[in-house]
Structure 1
């Protein structure tokens, strides 16, 4: 069996790379002989890292040729169909689906988070190609509700984000050893649309945590982009804080979160990593996907980047969770175990869909 995988891969975003690795692992667990081709922005990196064939995600003729030789297309996971950043994602990812349909191949929408989609034309395009897909698996109820609201009538399944199935049980690293036993991990990103100084509030909270004896470790999830903004927040602080190396592996980042007392996160996959290793979290939302995931695992959100929450509120919530650490971990464990158990099933369904093509 041969499948083509389309997503936001090869851009040095650890969340999306974790999605890809999780999907590849899950597929190989179901079929050890499966032939996988990934559409990537960095072909060499993708081939070397995941032991797959990769092709340039912009070479449509090459993509069509691979689809012709394949048993089907996996579109996802991640937040592919949205127009908050621009109109390009909807056009690109539905364009790949169009090529698969032109090649007469089945399309599996794999654990995607859909939206926001604001443009009426983009809604029509998304509806059309969702209806053409052979199976739709979305990662949260908000995505399902959006897809239904734009007129998609096909059956939609809710499945966990693939990263919930990521395992690091046998992995170890000494990169976190300098941070001690009581550190809080922080994931921030730039968000120029924010109307409040949310980064200043994060910096003030981190200063208070250091004053109380905790180490603070910023964890860049999107390469140099998050490294730059993390260092910017550290410069805003009066106390010292650490910035985890941005070019470390997925496993090393997850291990850092696992060893921390708490994750305060903006990046969705920093929060998903936390859930996968049972580390309590507090979200800072810039997108509905953050709120959706936090609801799914019953974890708190201090507010959005545009809300008038205070550093004092964030500090109070952080200390409260740390003081009730065992209970909080137990509460999260109940939610995360169910998701981890279900994550593998998505790959099994995909394999069955392609077998019956």
Structure 2
């Protein structure tokens, strides 16, 4: 299998997606990056191995279009598995930034033998383009972890801030709301662990630490190890996260969480697990509102754990079933 995705950038979300394919979704396939030119990848191309457009918001992004065009030319089986569709209306508000070529994307996707997308918003785009065979399989990163949440765990709040993409509202508005919430959590006797999912998130963690001198606030050093990130999340009573995969990984573990939903892809995932109520759109975000929602969430944390586990178990089963159908895993 030759995998197309945003790999090699030390981004926990994208590495978790790739790890999910290699370890649980396609355990019987040899999974290699599409643009890797090692002897193994060369042999995979010669043998017409499956080409998979993997997890992440890749459709309508020009950086991945060339790989899909080449895959069409090679003539092997092409599968879309858990991919999100970039919302071009959102990106038009921010200058496009390499998003577009919608008609050409539709053309290359017509050559795919399987179309499985991340969530309802991506599915709606597929259907509007006449790609009626598409279905939702969810974000593949839910398959990288099994549920693990202790209702009696300590009073630790997980916090993540960071984004490579423009933020609806403003990045400073999100930071100020998080700073207000951080102070309130600490004042109420909670410990707060800042969990970076990319090295650039560490800038926000360091800025918060300069403003809040409190031993209860721990800023974890960034490490690209997916399993270490999961270990850090497991220590949390609940999580407040900006990055999409802070939400995805917390949900996969069954940890109650709030999404600082800074662009449409966040809702694409939450709607795939019928949990849009966990979204706090950043264009309307305030510190007091974030604190209020966080403690409302904690008051019914057990119910949210049950709901998240059931929803993510459903996605995991669907992903594994489709992987078996595609011959990537034994029945």
**TM-score higher than 0.5:** yes
Mapped pair 1:212 → 2:183: no
Identify the residue that residue 271 of structure 1 maps to in structure 2: 247
Other-structure match for 2:11: 13
- Matching residue of 2:131: 153
Does residue 201 of structure 2 align to residue 226 of structure 1? yes
Structure 1: 5+ residue stretches without partners: 41-53, 57-61, 83-88, 171-179
Q: Does structure 1 residue 258 correspond to structure 2 residue 258? A: no
> What's the offset of the Cα at 1:238?
5.5
Q: Matched residue of 2:185: which SS?
A: helix
Q: Distance in 1 between matches of 2:130 and 2:114?
A: 12
- Structure 1 residues 301 and 107: CA distance shift in structure 2, 3 A: same
Change (3 A) 1:346 1:226: farther
Number of equivalenced pairs: 311
Gaps of 5+ in 2: 90-95
In 2, distance between residues paired with 1:15 and 1:121?
A: 23
Find 1:300's aligned residue among 277, 283, 296: 277
TM-score with structure 2 length normalisation?
0.85
TM-score (norm 1): 0.79
Q: Residue 101 of structure 1: CA displacement?
A: 1.9
- Cα distance, 1:189 vs structure 2: 0.7
Equivalent residue, structure 2, for 1:282: 258
1:70-85 pair list within 5 angstroms: 70-82=48-60
1:157-215 Cα shifts (integer Å, max 9, x gaps): 11021111123689xxxxxxxxx821000111146555442101101101100000001
CA 1:198–1:27: 2 relative to 1, 3 Å: closer
Question: Offset of 1:245 from its aligned partner?
Answer: 2.2
CA distance in 1, matches of 2:2, 2:239: 34
Deviation of 1:121 (Å): 5.7
SS of the residue corresponding to residue 322 of structure 1 reads: helix
Kindly tell me: are residues 302 and 335 of structure 1, through their superposed partners in 2, closer, same or farther at Cα, counting changes over 3 Å?
A: closer
Alpha-carbon contact 2:126-2:132 (below 8 Å) kept? no
Query: Match of 1:100?
Result: 71
Q: Find out whether 1:139 has 2:139 as its counterpart.
A: no
Q: Tell me how far 1:6 sits from its aligned partner.
A: 1.1
RMSD in angstroms over aligned alpha carbons?
2.7
SS at match of 1:35: coil
Greater RCO (Cα-Cα under 8 Å, separation 6 or more): 2
Contact 2:254 2:309 in 1 (8 A): yes
1:285-318 Cα deviation digits (max 9, x unpaired): 11111112223332534532222x3211111111
Q: How does 1:169-188 map to 2 (within 5 A)?
A: 181-188=154-161
1:203 & 1:158 partners in 2: Cα distance? 36
1:75-95, CA deviations, whole angstroms, 9 ceiling, x for partnerless residues?
11211124xxxxxx32x3221
Q: Secondary structure at the match of 2:223?
A: coil
2:135 & 2:327 partners in 1: Cα distance? 16
Task: Report if the CA contact (8 A) 2:118-2:139 is conserved.
Answer: yes
Look up the match of 2:93: none
Taking the aligned partners of 1:99 and 1:334, their CA distance within structure 2 comes to 39
CA contact (8 A) 1:142 1:292 kept: yes
Moved more, 329-338 or 12-21: 329-338
1:5/1:38 contact within 8 Å kept: yes
Tell me, yes or no, if the aligned pair for 1:164 and 1:343 is still in contact at 8 Å: no
SS at match of 1:245: coil
**Which position in structure 1 is the counterpart of 2:219?**
243
TM-aligned CA deviation for residue 327 of structure 1: 2.6
Query: Matches of 2:47 and 2:323 in 1, distance apart?
Result: 20
In 2, are the aligned partners of 1:187 and 1:218 still within 8 Å (CA)? yes
Inter-partner Cα distance in structure 1 for 2:4 and 2:76:
14
Render the CA deviation track for 1:51-102: whole Å, top value 9, x for unaligned. xxx438xxxxx978752333221111211124xxxxxx32x32211221221
